[in-house]
Structure 1
């Protein structure tokens, strides 16, 4: 009872959920069955035999069985209780949710040029990133790896349901030397570049072993899942040629040693050339971003050492065509042509030498809308099966989470419903508006236009 006569009782049942410590956390995902599906196994490059029923509960896949064995209760599992959702997708395709391993969710729309992007206020970046995240999820990317800018707080907000977006792996701010790829501060004596980066929220500069140690430890303390190091020149940064090699060996070893000591955290390096790639690998870095200019010898070494490669190929063409032709400054356009010319050849070389390759888009501002174009670019030189593996099984291996990238019992119920098989033509994923009919994340339908799918049938 209220201690005040006449006051209403505000603990009535309808308000109890909102009195929780974190009232935005959603209830457990409904128990659901997707029936009569053709399930894609990217690791094997095949479909499961025949039509199958996939049961989801508490955010996981809990049962997969042939549709003909569903039994008298019409379920994918043996239970006397009917599922909350029971849908036949009538022989269409279930694909694991896609994983983009190189995004910058804080490189937000709302600006036309690189110069404007680096001046965007931090608070505005945070607000606009919610739009970027939701749109990525609706394109079928149920997991992303942010390589500079996102934070642990943002990842937690997504996991708790406060913000709608992909599962988020993040490195905090990428680490750069002064004058390196994440230093966009003014070129003047005494500039510390403390807020440098693609924007104020994407990177930080540190010089010398003490500063590097402090920066690495601060990012790990802040909850970074991995650490990204700028080991070579970049397209968008103003003062460093592509051929530059960045950080000293002692500085990189300080980073990689600290990551091993503080939970064996993964490290990855921005690097295009043999020199910068070898500089990173020889000093303990475990992944390479881009790698457009690598030789066969370097690719062979990467394969031998188990170094992951995340190429980002579509972005170079996107950044210089309408409506983005003025995004890069003139010197950036020259560097862009330099790396674009060799990117596909490097991809073929890495694949031929057995390097584990992951999917990456590396898009900025409104270019995020073209996130799926990487599928089409890669498929011009590699098979559809291999390209799909880049965005599913390979990515899951690099992220170290066996629940990702597969449709199997015990895995996350992150799935896409498609009307075409990406194992036969992976470019269907580049046209989600045409071929993507539902996005399921953690057993919940994020988007659903199944009623427009030919032959769709729901039974509830």
Structure 2
């Protein structure tokens, strides 16, 4: 009795006659993870005008960029003999980085109340649409500040999902009555959302040192790249005014010291006011989200201590106009207008004080489609090179990926966008991707291209 053949080699213990033969082309699909995509072969882009965000200038002359095994191998002057894809003098920029997203706050609902009632599995499935669209807008890396998981990040890394590289914190940590407590306020607010619900998908509630220790340890064990702490009032949550300061000193220190001891992870804080920001920084937090009411002394303190700031400005205007004017509750709408009025002034104060400022959008539901509007909003008070740096090299520092992200140089990831216009002259070209974005390349793989040969 013969055994089945795999590439001509007989397998053992085959009890039947006429053994099947496994054809060679089927072997990759028999792997444990058959979706894994092999590295793309070497590719060259030539006649590139290379944008260098760190210097705020173009590199001298036209360049040829060689990418192999997902990374940039060389950036050299283009020669007549160079083979490769000719971009014909288009502007080649590092892939964009959005440092404040919520990929599980997906389209499919109209209001915040509907969003927090969605089942987790449905939000995870819908997030695949959000991720694919973000990549198509030129964002090759995103930092999720509440909702995403290591599971989704790994699926992206392995090629099972299409989208940006994902850094995530799991669930943000909130005290009872804090910014990520979306449970009902009736009888103390201990009710769960519908069907298990989404009320604790963006964040989780923990009170007292033992609970916060357990929460931060569980998130880090689950693979969180950083930890987010809700330390002040928020727009979308109903029980906390904007000027509220959340968590005690002991609770915050328990979180930040655990981050230091479990992999030297960065902790970041949702905080609008100087009081909330100082409460965070004085107790070990390394980065701030929003900061709309920041004042000059607080900004200088942040700069001296090397604290990062990720403002999110466009989202407030988006939530105040059609078709999203009913997204927030009656409690949230006036808070939204309150923080919107101060955002641009705070951005200017932070930048002038020397704070390392990063790009963030903080959009929810179908608002994700307006992710690039943040570029145009910031351009009202900052110049284009400064804003581009916030979405590239500054963001790479926050993610501890300097030299790998936000730059076109040997050793960096092959994350590139090709543009019709120069973003150093007018950053708002990034807010019109349909007119200006010619190609998106992540780790050497083309995700979107209007250039022949890519």
Q: Provide TM-score, normalisation by structure 2.
A: 0.95
Matched, 1:131 2:143: no
Across the aligned residues of Structure 1 and Structure 2, the Cα RMSD in angstroms comes to: 1.4
Match of 1:40 among 51, 71, 76: 51
Change over 3 Å in CA distance of 1:194–1:208 after alignment to 2: farther
1:29·1:443 contact (CA, 8 Å) conserved in 2? yes
Match of 1:63 among 74, 97, 103: 74
Match of 1:329 in 2: 329
* Equivalent position SS for 1:294: coil
Match of 1:454 in 2: none
1:34·1:88 contact (CA, 8 Å) conserved in 2? yes
Matched, 1:201 2:201: yes
Once residues 371 and 378 of structure 1 are traced to their aligned partners in structure 2, the CA distance between those partners, rounded to angstroms, is 13
Match of 2:20 in 1: 8
* Equivalent position SS for 1:34: strand
Match of 1:418 in 2: 419
Q: Within 5 Å, which residues of 2 pair with 1:309-328?
A: 309-328=309-328
1:25·1:160 contact (CA, 8 Å) conserved in 2? yes
Matched, 1:445 2:443: no
* Equivalent position SS for 1:335: helix
Match of 1:97 in 2: 95
Q: Which stretches of structure 1, 4 residues or longer, exceed 6 Å deviation after superposition?
A: 193-198
Once residues 41 and 341 of structure 2 are traced to their aligned partners in structure 1, the CA distance between those partners, rounded to angstroms, is 49
Match of 2:237 in 1: 237
- Number of equivalences: 439
Once residues 194 and 409 of structure 1 are traced to their aligned partners in structure 2, the CA distance between those partners, rounded to angstroms, is 50
Structure 2 stretches of 5 or more lacking a match?
Answer: 5-13
Change over 3 Å in CA distance of 1:170–1:156 after alignment to 2: same
Question: CA shift at 1:194, angstroms?
Answer: 7.1
Question: CA shift at 1:200, angstroms?
Answer: 3.5
Question: CA shift at 1:192, angstroms?
Answer: 4.0
Once residues 369 and 15 of structure 1 are traced to their aligned partners in structure 2, the CA distance between those partners, rounded to angstroms, is 39
Once residues 210 and 412 of structure 2 are traced to their aligned partners in structure 1, the CA distance between those partners, rounded to angstroms, is 42
1:314·1:361 contact (CA, 8 Å) conserved in 2? yes
Question: CA shift at 1:21, angstroms?
Answer: 1.2
* Equivalent position SS for 1:450: coil
Question: CA shift at 1:7, angstroms?
Answer: 4.1
Question: CA shift at 1:8, angstroms?
Answer: 2.2
Question: CA shift at 1:30, angstroms?
Answer: 2.0
Match of 2:109 in 1: 111
Q: Within 5 Å, which residues of 2 pair with 1:189-338?
A: 189=187, 191-192=189-190, 199-338=199-338
2:292·2:347 contact (CA, 8 Å) conserved in 1? yes
Change over 3 Å in CA distance of 1:93–1:436 after alignment to 2: same
Once the two structures are superposed, what CA deviation does each residue of 1:122-172 show, in whole Å capped at 9, x if it has no partner?
A: 111010000000000000000000000000011000000000110000000
Once the two structures are superposed, what CA deviation does each residue of 1:166-220 show, in whole Å capped at 9, x if it has no partner?
A: 0000000000000000001111335447779974411000000000000000000
Once the two structures are superposed, what CA deviation does each residue of 1:78-104 show, in whole Å capped at 9, x if it has no partner?
A: xxxxxxxx2000011100000000000
* Equivalent position SS for 2:142: strand
2:102·2:364 contact (CA, 8 Å) conserved in 1? yes
Match of 2:375 in 1: 375
Question: CA shift at 1:408, angstroms?
Answer: 0.1
Once residues 310 and 191 of structure 2 are traced to their aligned partners in structure 1, the CA distance between those partners, rounded to angstroms, is 27
* Equivalent position SS for 2:186: coil
2:117·2:197 contact (CA, 8 Å) conserved in 1? no
Once the two structures are superposed, what CA deviation does each residue of 1:234-276 show, in whole Å capped at 9, x if it has no partner?
A: 0000110001000000000000000001011000000000110
2:192·2:199 contact (CA, 8 Å) conserved in 1? no
Match of 1:31 among 42, 47, 62: 42
* Equivalent position SS for 1:154: helix
Question: CA shift at 1:9, angstroms?
Answer: 1.5
Question: CA shift at 1:371, angstroms?
Answer: 0.2
* Equivalent position SS for 1:270: strand
